[in-house]
Amino acid sequence: MAQFKTLKDAVADNLRPGDIAAFEGFTHLIPHAAAHEVIRQGIGDLTLVRLTPDLVYDQLVGCGLVKKMIFSYLGNPGVGLLRRVRDAVENGVPRTLELEEHSHAALANAYEAGAAGLPLAVFRGYKGAGLKAVNANIRSITCPFTGEELAAVPAIRPDVTFIHAQKADRKGNVLIEGILGVQKEAVLAARRAVITVEEIVDDFDDAHPNLTILPHWTISAIAVVPGGAHPSYARGYYGRDNAAYVEWDEIAADMDRFRAWIETHVMQAGPEDFAGRVETLKGKM
Amino acid sequence: MANADFTPDEMMTIAAARALSNDDVCFVGIGAPSAACNVARLTHAPDITLIYESGTIATAPSVLPLSIGDGELCETALTTVSVPEMFRYWLQGGRISVGFLGAAQLDPFGNINTTVIGDYAHPKTRLPGGGGAPEIASSCGEVFITMKQTKRGMVKAIDFFTSFGHGKGGSDRQDLGITTKGPTLLVTDMAVWRPNPQTKEFEVNSIHPGASREAIAASCDWDVVYAADVGETPPPTELELSTLREIKARTAAAHRRNAA
């Protein structure tokens, strides 16, 4: 049953050291505010799952909170590489990072299998791909009806999934629109789900019947954090802060500059600071 | 009318755009493929269906997206589906005729590496990885590749098989049980290449205006093979060039505005 909480309590009550956690959002609606709260609380030894680790995991990895990362695309979209993740992979700084690498199709299927309560995902993939040789969790299965050999990966069942969404109603039902990514699957696959939202509305009575809505009883906690996806975007609220993605490339290139940035923008800041960061991005796509 | 004043980069994008038809359903990679696909849509293929892996189907962006999940893609799409649906129903379901990919490292058989330079466990350089590409390469009807020529990019043997092309050539692809055609076209900033029907090794089919066999050899690490009949790539038309330049200008202006 969804409980409305402060972000601080929502994170403290649902994430524990050593958990498997997913922070999902495919370019759109990335739950940055929730990740910053995790950094402030210093909850570590995490195994993080996410198709596109993006800036959000570059920050968690750079802070030394991540033991293992399960992912499928390791870039700063439109800009380049993730420099904190690279430093961890290539030099073990600030700690070594175990990688479990997949394709998007595999992880999307694995979340769906988790949501469906299945132990594995079966799909036609990884044909001739090198990842099979370096990831023991990529195996094959023979179709009992046709004999076709198909790829198999284990289902993903996070201890907790974090997402950001446009709105919740007063009961705690949550509405997501625009680019949906894997958020619905990641929430339904998880044992606990924490959702930050732009705002609370009275009800969804006038919403289209086929909108993507997560019922309140699938959610553990909701925190209202306007701007909480920044520098990602929230359709209908504010656009992507492309300049921040470009700027991140320089910040993350240097460990001292990274630490200073985290100190100023995360440790000495709070969820209430996100609204101001999207002020000039309102009304943009 | 042809325009003599264009860059090799512009020629690459335009030659790649020409390969797409109005009937294609195209899975678009970010970067150079995205520019080519949108130039095709804005010139000779107005009804082409462009799909990005963020789930946006039949999208028609007025500016080129910075990422595969830009809001513009969703706002201008016919419909937007979830990422699992995109990969299961639309890609794996066999609905996509062409996958358009870029490459960090490419071998002469169209195998692509975007994962690591060096050893996987101890990489010299950790690249972004495959994303959607491993399944785009195997599930789309055919695959077009576009990249700028460099000796580091076009290599005899890639360090990691992110996406399978024609393997070691010949019938390698069918032998693995893959039923789609795989790479059928490579467009670089110097030439248009197609695989030899038997060996599946890329051969130069046409050389772009201003490029030469010497320049192609100097920027490709494998031994370049030429088709029996090598022509010159027709130069960009005024319409192709103005369309490309306008979308690039709109893109630069939009991203400046957003950054302001």
B177 — alpha (psi -120 to 50), left (phi > 0) or beta?
left
Q: Average pLDDT for residues B208-222, to the nearest whole number?
A: 98
Q: How far apart are alpha carbons A91 and A97 in whole angstroms?
A: 10
For residue A223, what pLDDT is reported?
98
Q: Calculate how close chain A gets to B200, using CA atoms only, in Å.
A: 16
Domain borders along chain A are 3-102+157-281
What pLDDT was estimated at residue A265?
98
Counting one residue from chain A and one from chain B, the pairs whose CB atoms sit within 8 A come to 185
* B131 chain-A contacts, CB cut-off 8 A: 51-52, 72-73, 75, 103-104
pLDDT at position B257 is 60
Cβ–Cβ below 8 Å for B66 and A240: yes
The verdict on a CB contact (< 8 Å) between B126 and A90 is yes
Does B130 sit within 8 Å of A77, measured CB to CB? no
Residue B66 at interface with chain A, using a CB cutoff of 8 Å: yes
Predicted confidence at residue A285, as pLDDT, reads: 64
What pLDDT is attached to residue B1? 47
- The reported pLDDT for the residue numbered A77 is 87
Taking alpha carbons only, the member of A108, A103, A181, A101 closest to residue B135 is: A103
Structural domain includes residue B173: yes
Min Cα separation B93/chain A (Å): 10
Q: Is residue B2 part of a domain?
A: no
Q: pLDDT band at residue B29, thresholds of 50, 70 and 90? A: confident
| Active site (catalytic) residues of B | 53
- Cβ-nearest to A26 among B54, B72, B126: B54
pLDDT of residue A283: 84
pLDDT at residue B259 in the model: 53
| Percent of chain B predicted with pLDDT > 90 | 89
Residue B182: pLDDT above 50?
yes
**Tens digit of each residue's pLDDT (9 = 90 or more) over B55-83:** 999 999 999 998 888 999 999 999 999 99
- Report, as ranges of residue numbers, the positions in chain A whose pLDDT lies below 70: 285
Give the model confidence (pLDDT) of B106-128 as tens digits. 999 999 999 999 999 988 888 99
What is this model's ipTM? 0.97
Interface touch B74/A240, C-beta < 8 Å: no
Q: Could you tell me if residue B23 is inside a domain? A: yes
Give domain A3-102+157-281's CATH architecture. 3-Layer(aba) Sandwich (3.40)
Q: For position A56, what pLDDT does the model report?
A: 98
| Residues of chain B found within 8 Å of residue A125, distances taken between Cβ atoms | 92, 134-135, 138-139
Q: Are the beta carbons of B88 and A109 separated by less than 8 Å?
A: yes
| In contact, B205 and B194? CB cutoff 8 Å | yes
- The overall average pLDDT reported for chain B is 95
State the nearest Cα–Cα gap between B137 and chain A, in angstroms.
Answer: 9
Q: Is B118 on the interface with A (CB under 8 A)?
A: no
Q: Among residues 222-241 of chain B, which lie with CB inside 8 Å of chain A?
A: none
Hey, is the C-beta of B112 within 8 angstroms of any chain A C-beta?
no
pLDDT digits (tens, 9 = 90+) for B81-91: 999 999 999 99
Predicted local distance difference test score (pLDDT) of residue B144:
98
Interval A48-100: pLDDT, tens = 999 999 999 999 999 999 999 999 999 998 888 999 999 998 899 999 999 99
Chain A environment of B260 (Cβ under 8 Å):
280
- The DSSP line for chain B is -B-S---HHHHHHHHHHHT--TT-EEEEPSSHHHHHHHHHHHTT-TT-EEEETTTEES---SS--SSTT-HHHHHTSSEE--HHHIIIIIIITT--SEEEE--SEE-TT--EE-SEEE-SSSEEEE----TTHHHHHHHSSEEEEE----TTTB-SS-SS-SB-SSTTSTTHHHHTT--S--EEEEE-SSEEEEE-TTT--EEEEEE-TT--HHHHHHT-SS--EEEEEEEEPPPPBHHHHHHHHHHHHHHHHHHHHHH-
Chain B, 185 to 224: residues with Cβ < 8 Å from chain A are: none
Give the model's pLDDT for residue B4. Answer: 66
- The model's pLDDT over B152-175, given as tens digits with 9 standing for 90+, comes to 999 999 999 999 999 999 999 999
Q: Which two three-digit tokens encode residue A155?
A: 């289902």
Contact B67 A124 (CB under 8 A): no
DSSP A130: T
* Residue B72 contacts A, CB cutoff 8 Å: yes
List CB contacts (< 8 A) between A241 and chain B: 258
Given A78, A105, A112, which is nearest B135 (Cβ)?
A: A105
> Percentage of chain B surpassing pLDDT 70?
97
Cβ-defined contacts of B235-238 (< 8 Å, 24+): B235/B2, B235/B3, B235/B4, B235/B6, B235/B11, B235/B209, B236/B2, B236/B3, B236/B6, B236/B10, B236/B11, B236/B14, B237/B1, B237/B2, B237/B3, B238/B1, B238/B2, B238/B3
Q: Identify the band that residue B143 occupies on the pLDDT scale cut at 50, 70 and 90.
A: very high
Average pLDDT (B228-249) is 97
pLDDT tens digit string along A241-251? Answer: 999 999 999 99
The whole-angstrom distance between B230's CA and the closest CA on chain A is 32
What predicted TM-score, i.e. pTM, was given to this entire model? 0.96
Q: Is the dihedral of CA B137, B140, B144, B146 positive or negative?
A: negative
Domain that holds residue B34: 8-259
DSSP string, B136-173: HHHHSSEEEEE----TTTB-SS-SS-SB-SSTTSTTHH
The residue to which tokens 């599930």 are assigned:
B139
Do the domain assignments include residue B243? yes
CATH of the domain at B138: 3.40.1080.10
Amino acid at A126: Y
pLDDT at B260: 46
Number of domains in chain B: 1
